[in-house]
Structure 1
């Protein structure tokens, strides 16, 4: 099974409602899709999310990285020699984690097809069904209450609330949401680097004192501020999840050595795909630290890959794979089955896609 071509295209999927965080507002998914073609006729699919405010990767940078640096390194290589292929991919250029992730995902899709097994079974086979939270965008408190009640009505038992824009308003938001939904629903908060360390400590302590019962806080401070992250972790009872601070296995190792966070968030767009995500899982297992698997604003293609990883590894105990649930349409046939909060992995080989529209690859 040799690689004979790598094709790049685009996918555009409107969201149900605008997605708002402390960093950005988005109305539709506008991602890069990849098709890796082999001499046996097998095809693997991947996806990259251009999230410049987090990864630094723009649409043009991703396309350029794939066509100019990654593709020349991989044409002619055999999927049978998978470790060699992975090393060539991840050594093809520095950074550009999203472009690497798209091709990495497509290659793992082919790896599963080569062995005629669902990818999650090849990687560990821990469980076939996983349960995700859903994100509530940052808005005025009354709108966030409405969105939270709607999510609960759709069956979600865990909500991830976006905060980080205004500490006083954040407190108002959280009190209003907790009062509206009661205490049977789990609440997580994500500040998206929106607070300074002492500011984070102050507001999180107030949330503790108010009895809001927050499961954890995600990335309360700037990504590069490992010391600030540790300061927050050391001074609040709410567990701290490192997200934007962790792009690589080396980042994860440093965070855990410093005890700068209680949990690690894995996102394929940050790690460059499944290959390095597996290394982070192993490091977390060594330290006995649980992981969450998350996603950017991505369609079913790359979120299916993340779901396979979650189904494979027991160290991934928290799931934040709501990208497809935020979309108003699903143009891809096959892959994981996203039934609101419930994600069921396919039994077909690889990632399990049946049909990815060819028109995605006719628009560049």
Structure 2
């Protein structure tokens, strides 16, 4: 099974409401779509959103990596020899994790279609239904409280709350949200590297003392500060999750070896796709550390690939797949199905993507 063509095109979808974190504000979801067509007629799909402040990838760099480097490498490859394909994909260029992830998705889509299985079953099939949290963007305490209340009324029972702007206001934000949603709702915090280690310890201890019931805190300190991450983990009772600190299996090994975090958030755009993400999850499982799978601001296409991977593995116990629910319009047909917080998988082979509508202003390569 060889590749007959590999194409990329751009798409852009406005968000219903701006998505705000300590690192950035997003009003439009911009993305690169990869379409892979094999010589047996199978078509596979992938996606790579440019997330400059996290992965360093831009639209131009993703397209350049896919069309200029990855495409020539794949030209003579048999996808059924997928170990060689994925090893090569991860060695022919450094970084460019989003470009690699998009192609990796498309390859897995083709392989699982060839096998006659939905991708989650091809990868292990541990679960056939999962539930997502919903993200509360960082705003004023009052606005965040109103948003949180709305999402709970919409049927979500786990909130991922963005903080990291400033410690004192962050505490006010969490108090307001907890006041509005009550004690029965899980609250996860994501500081997106916004605190120093001392600030993180101070605010997390304060939240513990005040009984705010925080399930976990994600990436409280700068990505490169593993010692600081460990300092926070060792100093509080609340679970601490590593996100931006871990792109590669080697980085995961370092965090796991030093017990610098209690949990790991795997994202395909950081890992470079499912092949490397499986390694990170396996390392974590051996160490008794559970994983969450999250995402960037992606369309249903990229989230479908991430959800298939997450559902396949026992050690992945938390799911952050709300991005498609934030978009003002749908450009993908097929893939995962949402019923409130519940996500199910179409009984189609591969990712189950049937149509990808190209944005009218998108460019094709």
Q: Report 1:26-45 matches (<5 A).
A: 26-45=26-45
Supply the distance in 2 between the matched residues of 1:224 and 1:32 (Cα, whole angstroms): 28
TM-fit CA distance, 1:346: 1.8
What residue is the counterpart of 1:297 in the other structure?
297
Q: Report 1:45-56 matches (<5 A).
A: 45-56=45-56
Contact 1:227 1:260 in 2 (8 A): yes
User: Which consecutive unaligned segments of at least 5 residues does structure 1 have?
Assistant: none
TM-fit CA distance, 1:231: 0.2
Aligned to 2:256, the other structure's residue is in SS state helix
TM-fit CA distance, 1:338: 2.1
Contact 1:265 1:293 in 2 (8 A): yes
What residue is the counterpart of 1:274 in the other structure?
274
What residue is the counterpart of 1:214 in the other structure?
214
User: Which consecutive unaligned segments of at least 5 residues does structure 2 have?
Assistant: none
Q: Go from structure 1 to structure 2 and tell me whether the alpha carbon gap of 1:349 and 1:361 turns closer, same or farther (over 3 Å shift).
A: farther
Q: After superposition, what is the alpha-carbon deviation per residue over 1:261-298, rounded to whole angstroms, capped at 9, x for unaligned? A: 00000000000000000001110110011000000111
Aligned to 1:84, the other structure's residue is in SS state helix
Aligned length, in residue pairs: 364
What residue is the counterpart of 1:236 in the other structure?
236
Q: Go from structure 1 to structure 2 and tell me whether the alpha carbon gap of 1:195 and 1:260 turns closer, same or farther (over 3 Å shift).
A: same
Q: CA RMSD in A?
A: 1.1
TM-fit CA distance, 1:363: 2.3
Q: In the alignment, does 2:235 pair up with 1:246? A: no
Contact 1:263 1:289 in 2 (8 A): yes
Supply the distance in 2 between the matched residues of 1:322 and 1:353 (Cα, whole angstroms): 18
Q: In the alignment, does 2:6 pair up with 1:22? A: no
What residue is the counterpart of 1:310 in the other structure?
310
Contact 1:8 1:361 in 2 (8 A): no
Contact 1:46 1:102 in 2 (8 A): yes
Contact 1:6 1:36 in 2 (8 A): yes
What residue is the counterpart of 1:155 in the other structure?
155
Aligned to 1:165, the other structure's residue is in SS state coil
Contact 1:98 1:270 in 2 (8 A): yes
Q: In the alignment, does 2:335 pair up with 1:332? A: no
Supply the distance in 2 between the matched residues of 1:287 and 1:345 (Cα, whole angstroms): 30
Aligned to 2:46, the other structure's residue is in SS state strand
TM-fit CA distance, 1:202: 0.4
Q: After superposition, what is the alpha-carbon deviation per residue over 1:117-156, rounded to whole angstroms, capped at 9, x for unaligned? A: 0010011111111000010000001100110011001100
Supply the distance in 1 between the matched residues of 2:339 and 2:93 (Cα, whole angstroms): 38
What residue is the counterpart of 2:144 in the other structure?
144
Supply the distance in 2 between the matched residues of 1:172 and 1:332 (Cα, whole angstroms): 38
What residue is the counterpart of 2:190 in the other structure?
190
Contact 1:10 1:360 in 2 (8 A): no
